[in-house]
Amino acid sequence: MKGLIVERAGPLTLIQDGGRFGVRHLGVTQGGAADWVSLGWANWLLGNAPQAPGVEITVGGLTLYAETSATLALTGADLGATLDDAPLAPGTRFTITAGQRLAFESPRAGLRAYLAFPGGLDATPVLGSVSSTVRESLGGLDGQGRVLDEGDCLTWAGTAGAERTLPLGVGTLPGDEERVMLALVSGAQIADFSGTSVFEAFNTPWQVDQRADRMGVRLTGSELRYLGEGMVSEGIPLGAVQVPADGQPIVLLNDRQTIGGYPRLGALTPLACARLAQCQPGTEVWLTPVAAGQARNAHLRQLACWR
């Protein structure tokens, strides 16, 4: 079947969907789109389910050649995308015709772009998901979790729905606003940090470190001091903010380990995780406390946008 051929593979271009759930007791992590909101909007533009499989393009370096015509959608980061050398802005539903090339160069804003296909990409689910998890060798086109490579063929079987455009205000990336605020629900160990540390966690800026990937993002700033006793390893949710001995927090993301023994301030909300996934190294971010109920309501409002 004809589709899009990978002519040039980016350093970390992956097949991703909504993630792999119900298997963490087996030591298998969640995976899924790091910026699940952008993937959801890309799918919405085509009339797909929000979790339908698409391509997550991190930092660019990808070129696709069309063997057939199709309607696609692009959201997320601005990676200097072009269609036959004509600029292609994120937040766009567009048609690619046979013989054209779609290319992504390097980040101009954000880190991860998402490309959606009619009905979602064709791939065989592994443990309920096609999400590529390189560390666990699960998912992707061949079920082994590898990144896309030259010569791979992307195919789909669905058709695009009625024409849609993104609502106003959708698609804002970190850096487009005065402050990047990351909502955090406090955790069981927050009372075991010094009072000064808790104050500084929420009232001083943090910098996104270069040590960042789909497993986690290090933040640098004030040294946080944990005063509690040693911990037994426990389950790690998406967005967990662990604080190791150096006092610099690590936010754990989609490809995190399933258990850990560092104390935690709490966990970023799923919406905050999506925002953090688009933050380039050096971005200034602020943690802001929210109640679990507030976080849940915000999450449900986002899901309702795609109904």
CATH number at residue 185: 2.40.100.10
Q: Answer yes or no: do 35 and 116 share one domain.
A: yes
Question: Is 217 a residue whose pLDDT tops 60?
Answer: yes
Q: Judge whether 170 lies within some domain.
A: no
The residue type found at 164 is R
Tokens of 239: 């967005």
Q: Would 168 be classed as within a structural domain?
A: no
Give the percent of the chain with pLDDT over 90.
Answer: 93
Residues 60 and 122 in one domain: yes
The whole-angstrom separation of Cα 210 and Cα 258 is 23
Residue 289: what pLDDT? 97
- For residue 124, pLDDT beyond 80: yes
pLDDT of residue 10: 87
Residue 148 sits in the same domain as residue 10:
yes
**162 occurs within a structural domain:** no
The pLDDT assigned to 220 comes to: 98
119 and 50 both lie in a single domain: yes
Q: What is the pLDDT of residue 175?
A: 57
pLDDT at 172 over 70: no
> Can you give the pLDDT at residue 20?
97
The answer to whether position 165 is within a domain reads no
| Residue 23 and residue 147 in one domain | yes
Which amino acid type is present at position 23?
A: V
φ/ψ of residue 28, rounded to 5: -95, 130
pTM of this prediction?
Answer: 0.96
Whether the CB-CB separation of 108 and 130 falls below 8 Å is answered with no
Same domain membership, residue 187 and residue 142 = no
State whether 139 and 192 are in the same domain: no
Q: How many separate domains does the chain show?
A: 2
Could you identify the residue written with the tokens 């205000």? Answer: 169
Q: Is 114 within 8 Å of 76 (Cβ atoms)?
A: yes
Q: Name the average pLDDT for the chain.
A: 95
Residues 108 and 39 in one domain: yes
Q: With cut-offs at 50, 70 and 90, classify the pLDDT of residue 119.
A: very high
User: Do residue 34 and residue 103 come from a single domain?
Assistant: yes
The rounded distance, in Å, linking the Cα atoms of 16 and 33 is: 5
Q: Examine the pLDDT at 185 and tell me if it is beyond 60.
A: yes
- Name which of 46-60, 96-110, 165-179 the model is least confident about: 165-179
For the cut 90, the answer to whether the pLDDT of residue 173 exceeds it is no
Lowest-confidence segment of 173-177, 212-216, 225-229 by average pLDDT: 173-177
For position 188, what pLDDT does the model report? 87
Answer yes or no: is pLDDT of 117 > 90: yes
Confidence of residue 170 (pLDDT cuts 50, 70, 90): confident
41 and 82 both lie in a single domain: yes
Q: Flag whether 149 is in a domain.
A: yes
Is 173 domain-assigned? no
Quote the pLDDT of residue 174: 67
Average pLDDT over residues 77-85: 97
**Interval 37-49 mean pLDDT:** 97
Query: Do 119 and 228 reside in the same domain of the chain?
Result: no
Beta-carbon count within 10 A of 191 CB? 11
What's the pLDDT score for residue 177? 65
Q: How confident is the model at residue 233 (pLDDT cuts 50, 70, 90)?
A: very high
Answer yes or no: is 164 within a domain: no
* Domain annotation covers residue 287: yes
Residues 110 and 206 in one domain: no
**146 is in which domain, residue-wise?**
4-154
